[in-house]
């Protein structure tokens, strides 16, 4: 299969030097890319800024902002057999980007934020156009499983991987994989590389071409 994987954070600039972002390391997405390659798949990796080297053999696309990731994914997805959305994108950006560098004035600075495009939801809508499957990630702090189920349905995913804020920047993780029934079908607590192999194996067994009835 040809799998599109999103990874890492995105950045939304306030001025020429300052930006909004998060502490995502990209480790989970890159581990999934490596695991998919090792399983014999073709990988298209779309990544925000990280300190990681792209796995050799993947088709790598570096992006910075949420809009850039959105446009890149929409361009690439039509040639892919499935999507794994691990990127921790910024949900908001400043309505206006200040030119130059904002200087201190001794007064409060008020910034209006607006929502960024919902990449996972838009890719989920592509299933109506023939995208075979999509697996999302949900990082939740409160009402975790309930929020993950809501995201699973709202974004038209075939499965969602629930993890928690402690995963950010860590080499290990504890995740639940929830399928369309809304029930957890697997729980893994291990190094992210091992979790990635388990997720790819589950996708092969449950969402791959044979499972979906493709030739």
Q: What separation in angstroms does the CA of 124 have from each of 82, 166, 171?
A: 10, 27, 28
Residue of 22, 59, 147, 198 marked active site: 22
Query: Taking Cα atoms as reference points, which of 169, 170, 162 lies closest to residue 199?
Result: 162
Bridge partners of 108, per DSSP, are: none
Longest C-alpha distance within the chain, in Å? 67
CA–chain centroid gap for 28, Å, is 9
Q: At what angle are helices 192-206 and 27-38 packed, to 10 degrees?
A: 50
Residue pair 83/133 in contact by the 8 Å Cβ criterion: yes
Bridge-based pairing state of the strands 42-47 and 133-139: unpaired
Angle, alpha carbons 75-147-123 (nearest 5°): 10
Q: Exposed, middle or buried: residue 89 (CB in 10 Å: 0-12, 13-18, 19+)?
A: buried
Confirm whether 143 is a catalytic residue: no
- Which residues are designated catalytic? 22
């Amino acid at each position: 299969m040809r799998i599109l994987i999103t990874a890492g954070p995105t950045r939304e600039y306030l001025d020429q030097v300052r930006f909004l972002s998060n502490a995502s390391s990209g480790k989970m997405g890159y581990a999934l890319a490596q695991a998919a390659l090792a399983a014999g798949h073709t990988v298209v990796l779309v990544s925000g800024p990280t300190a990681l080297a792209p796995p050799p053999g993947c088709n790598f696309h570096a992006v910075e902002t949420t809009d850039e990731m959105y446009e890149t994914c929409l361009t690439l997805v039509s040639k892919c057999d499935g999507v794994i959305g691990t990127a921790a994108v910024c949900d908001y950006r400043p309505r206006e980007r200040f030119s130059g560098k904002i200087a201190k004035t001794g007064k409060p600075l008020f910034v209006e934020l607006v929502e960024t495009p919902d990449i996972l939801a838009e890719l989920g809508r592509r299933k109506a156009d023939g995208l075979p499957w999509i697996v999302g990630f949900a990082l939740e702090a409160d009402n975790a499983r309930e929020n993950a189920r809501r995201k699973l349905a709202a974004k038209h995913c075939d499965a969602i991987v629930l993890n928690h804020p402690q995963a950010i920047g860590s080499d290990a993780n504890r995740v639940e994989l929830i399928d369309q029934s809304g029930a957890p079908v697997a729980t893994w607590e291990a190094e992210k590389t091992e979790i990635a192999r388990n997720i790819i194996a589950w996708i092969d067994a449950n969402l791959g071409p044979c499972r979906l009835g493709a030739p």
